[in-house]
Structure 1
Amino acid sequence: MPVDVILLVLFGALLHATWNAIVKAGSDKSLDAALISAGGAVSALPFLAFLPLPQTAAWPFIGASAVLQFAYFQLVAAAYRTGDIGLVYPLMRGCAPLLIAATSGVILHESLSAGALAGIMTISAGVLTLALEARAGSGRAVIFSLANACVIASYTYVDGIGARLSGNAVSYTLWMSLLPPVLLFAWATFRRGAFAVTKHIRHNWWRGLIGGAGSIASYGLALWAMTKAPVATVAALRETAILFALVISVTVFKEKASIWRYAAGVVIAIGGLVLKLA
């Protein structure tokens, strides 16, 4: 994988860990997740006029992605309501590349080198070690996290293929971001009422803009990278966001990190190096 692709995927991983921390820190995680999705759409709007429309073949994937993104944000909020970030984030992000690596040969007909496969397995081992080390969290948190790993693997496939068919990965990403917040806020309004939703937006809109811009930029970088390198390899390298999440948990949330968390971080870094050399 080229160095410039690796660096941009790593920057996207930092952005991803940051917006997840914003959701975890929020008082209403469901509405904060919806706000971040909306912030991504708002960030996308100014650029749409300057980009070509995605090719016709990509639009069914944009529609499917919207449904999967709706499920993703719902499960993110549910997982963070019931579990510690040290448990939830590694499980969600660590299991997804394993699922993709195990099935990409059948679904995408991509062949991975032995080195790339070793890097994927090393990164996944590191993030799963972090999850096993974390003691906070309930059985429900584990269920939500594993379910979301399946959703992540699903939308990675959908968007990886859709971005390739679209002719322009950036355009695909921006158009893909518009529908999920509509679904999320429609559902929130149905469940919570317009007054509660409006009140939360009025007091927390800035969280959505900051987190949303980071979210759309992070995913856009990943989709662009998927047009330059195998989907499974990019998906695994993106999971180095765990390292950034660990730093955020210690410096911002003041969570205590054991030696096992740091050891797992080293394993993840080694996995990234293996991917670079593959």
Structure 2
Amino acid sequence: MLTPSAIALVLLAAFLHAAWNALLRGGADRAQSMAIMNATLGVFGLVLLAIAGLPAQASWGFAIASGVVHWIYVALLVVTYRSGDLGETYPVARGSSPALVALGGSIFAGEWMNASGIVGVGLVSVGIFMLAAAKGRLHAMNLPWALATGVSIAAYTVVDGFGVRASQNWLGYTAAIFAFFIVVPLWFLARSGLTFFRVPANEAGKAIGGGVISLAAYGAIIWAMQASAMGAVSALRETSVVFAALLGAAFLGERLSAWRIAACCVIAAGAAFVGWH
């Protein structure tokens, strides 16, 4: 069971996560924005690692695995946001992960769901279907890419749940994960040269801000997973789908229909059932 302080922190992380996704979705060139965000994450990760120190050796394998899965996640995220609006693709990607995380936690960590958790999985699935099928956009939004992103989210969440518990240093473990992100901008640099990073100051500022927000958001999740069930933390975090819909409407000019609101609320309710069992 999550403590009140953990619930408050994870809800804050949910809002922050939706915020940096909105920044990415609103960028003029999303691949470019993602590269700058990852450069920010990598630099901050290396600096934080020098301050916090290395986590316990038992967690190094988890940190490496998490870094690799995060690279896959980054690539999928860019493709996903080319296929549909933030308010459509984000809930599918994020909403499909809590059930997978809860399943992984049950099988590998003995964090079995009760009836409430099972109901939550059903609600999340219904909400995803509602959102994906809204106004016949199921094919236009490229659902498979959004679902694949959800699988990658679940994979790194479960890996990090085990990793932080073996780390004896949650801050060092968090820093180690983000240090891997430096590889993404280095790949873009090798492929395209410095011209790839020549962007308007406002675009660069948004991307850098998104990187800082992302680090704070996921750092809070890592902290929470030290002592709380992975499925519970993941499910509560996915209330971010509601924040994403509101941010998409407020800042990206996306239409917030009654159907969309209802679908996001069903996903959020399902996440709550999964998390608070």
What CA distance in whole angstroms lies between the structure 1 residues aligned with 2:163 and 2:104? 17
What CA distance in whole angstroms lies between the structure 1 residues aligned with 2:275 and 2:58? 32
8 Å contact from structure 2 (residues 16, 217) kept in 1? yes
Q: Post-superposition shift, 1:233? A: 1.2
Q: Post-superposition shift, 1:203? A: 6.7
Q: Secondary structure at the match of 2:52?
A: coil
Gaps of 5+ in 2: none
What CA distance in whole angstroms lies between the structure 1 residues aligned with 2:128 and 2:16? 18
Q: Secondary structure at the match of 2:255?
A: coil
Quote the residue 2:189 is aligned against. 189
Quote the residue 1:264 is aligned against. 263
Rate the CA distance shift 1:242–1:222 in 2: closer, same or farther, 3 A: same
8 Å contact from structure 1 (residues 101, 117) kept in 2? no
8 Å contact from structure 2 (residues 246, 256) kept in 1? no
Quote the residue 1:102 is aligned against. 103
8 Å contact from structure 1 (residues 34, 73) kept in 2? no
What CA distance in whole angstroms lies between the structure 2 residues aligned with 1:93 and 1:3? 23
What CA distance in whole angstroms lies between the structure 1 residues aligned with 2:233 and 2:240? 12
8 Å contact from structure 1 (residues 124, 268) kept in 2? yes
Quote the residue 1:216 is aligned against. 215
Q: Post-superposition shift, 1:216? A: 0.9
Q: Secondary structure at the match of 1:178?
A: helix
1:159-174 map, 5 Å: 159-174=160-175
- Is 1:48 aligned to residue 49 of structure 2? yes
Quote the residue 1:23 is aligned against. 24
Q: Secondary structure at the match of 1:177?
A: helix
Give per-residue Cα distances to partners, 1:39-72, cap 9 Å, x unaligned: 2233344443442420001111111111111111
Quote the residue 2:232 is aligned against. 233
Q: Secondary structure at the match of 2:54?
A: coil
TM-score, structure 2 as length reference: 0.89
What CA distance in whole angstroms lies between the structure 1 residues aligned with 2:23 and 2:34? 9
Rate the CA distance shift 1:120–1:3 in 2: closer, same or farther, 3 A: farther
Quote the residue 1:255 is aligned against. 254
Give per-residue Cα distances to partners, 1:191-230, cap 9 Å, x unaligned: 4x10332313877432232101111111111111111211
Quote the residue 2:198 is aligned against. 199
Q: Secondary structure at the match of 1:82?
A: coil
TM-score, structure 1 as length reference: 0.89
Q: Post-superposition shift, 1:92? A: 0.8
What CA distance in whole angstroms lies between the structure 2 residues aligned with 1:87 and 1:59? 36
Gaps of 5+ in 1: none
Rate the CA distance shift 1:137–1:21 in 2: closer, same or farther, 3 A: farther
What CA distance in whole angstroms lies between the structure 1 residues aligned with 2:180 and 2:205? 20
Number of residue pairs the alignment of both structures matches: 276
